[in-house]
Structure 1
């Protein structure tokens, strides 16, 4: 078991070291590649940021396992005593097209228990982090659990491209206050964490998209699960929801119609 305060301090130092490089890159020519399709982008900065974290973690903790979005060759093993999950640039399309609404996601787990979670909103210099049994924080200011928001009064974040044409999307738009979507799961999650959104739902995710948020959910009393209500594991892929308690039950009733 690692000293969490020590690990936390290291992560904050690493983030403060790499963020200026990311901001400088916005005035430079980016090397952009596609992955699954022309809208699924990865840049040389994604790769540089992930390589930076891999180097730092490996130097400090050579026996720890690392799972990163841009390194599919990094496979998880059955020995999960210490696991790091990294999304170097969450919201790469926003990074390329808007130079805004993107973040860094980092999570640290011991024995499949979430210990530390980080969402760094790069352009706003806002660091959200959660520490097991210590709470969640924004720039070292402790966050209170968000007030419960019923679905009819809450903004819901959902990827319209994936939901368009589905009957359950019509229900979601009708029964919630309205739909919003930043195009970056970390930024959308921040808005649930601070109580501005009632929920964030997505049908496509990897461990790097949700591992940090699971730590926040535990510390703030938020609800997380798959669309069918089944338990969400930090190494899962596919659909998942992060929700305010007040909207969760009604939301799940709608989400169960996702495959219809």
Structure 2
């Protein structure tokens, strides 16, 4: 296998090739389909980007496993020496309705260890990436570890659709400084990475929603776990929190009662 810097350069080339077409496709007629329900959308652009990335990965590394949100046939295996996790358009509803606040997510793992993570904020043309033992970067400039933020002073991003009416959501709104939510986990996570948000928490996710962020967490000293504080695996589904160290424990005290 090539060294990480060589793999990284290939990923940069792939993103620089496909991201401009995503922007241009916004002005074209989108083909929009639903998946599980009418608010669960997928477009021809999601599929186009995923097919492009799968093609590039397969061409360069034909033996590697790929886990992608928009391909049912790309399933998780017990053999995980080399695993890629991709979300071609994270925030598809935003892509369709706002033409903003969506991103491309890519992560690369070796033997279940996160090596590379990428979040491309398409409309701002900002590429965030993290490389194991080398730090995290924004457009090539190193990102400093965020200063610690307390829950009382921090903005918290929470998936309000699934929290509304819960006692724990009321506690979160009262005990944090305030609630924010972009509707795109990658964009919300960027705000945790840069210290603008104290935490991002969601009760529904898949591997493509969190695998890249786990690489950032390790490089920047951020916390990531299940709501109950349990260890988070990059191929997990369900609830998870991505948080500043100064917020994490107080936030978990609220999240443990999320189901009540």
| Secondary structure of the corresponding residue to residue 201 of structure 2 | strand
CA drift of 1:72 comes to 1.7
Q: How does 1:71-86 map to 2 (within 5 A)?
A: 71-86=71-86
Q: Which residue of 1 aligns with 2:156?
A: 156
Partner of 1:58: 58
Matched, 1:142 2:142: yes
CA distance in 1, matches of 2:76, 2:36: 22
Report what 1:194 is aligned to. Answer: 194
Structure-2-length-normalised TM-score? 0.99
CA–CA separation in structure 1 for the residues paired with 2:225 and 2:159: 17
Residue aligned with 1:51, SS: helix
Give the 5 Å matches for 1:128-139. Answer: 128-139=128-139
Query: Within 5 A, what are the aligned runs for 1:1-260?
Result: 1-260=1-260
Q: C-alpha deviations, 1:148-199, integer Å up to 9, x for none?
A: 0000000000111110000000000000000000000000000000000000
Q: Matches of 1:225 and 1:8 in 2, distance apart?
A: 26
> What SS is found at the alignment partner of 2:123?
helix
C-alpha displacement of 1:2: 3.1
Q: Give runs of ≥4 in structure 1 deviating > 3 Å.
A: none
Counterpart Cα distance in 2 of 1:254 and 1:75: 34
Distance in structure 1 (CA, Å) of the matches to 2:164 and 2:181: 13
Q: 1:35 offset after TM fit, Å?
A: 0.7
CA distance in 1, matches of 2:51, 2:96: 19
Residue ranges of structure 1 left out of the alignment (5+ in a row): none
Separation in 2, partners of 1:217, 1:72: 28
TM-score (norm 1): 0.99
Q: What is the SS of the residue equivalent to 1:209?
A: helix
SS at match of 1:123: coil
Identify unmatched segments of 5+ residues in structure 2: none
Q: Describe the superposition over 1:33-75 as per-residue Cα deviations: whole angstroms up to 9, x where unpaired.
A: 0011111100000000000000000000000000000012111
CA distance in 1, matches of 2:165, 2:77: 39
SS in 1 for 2:63: coil
Across the aligned residues of Structure 1 and Structure 2, the Cα RMSD in angstroms comes to: 0.5
Q: Distance in 1 between matches of 2:203 and 2:242?
A: 12
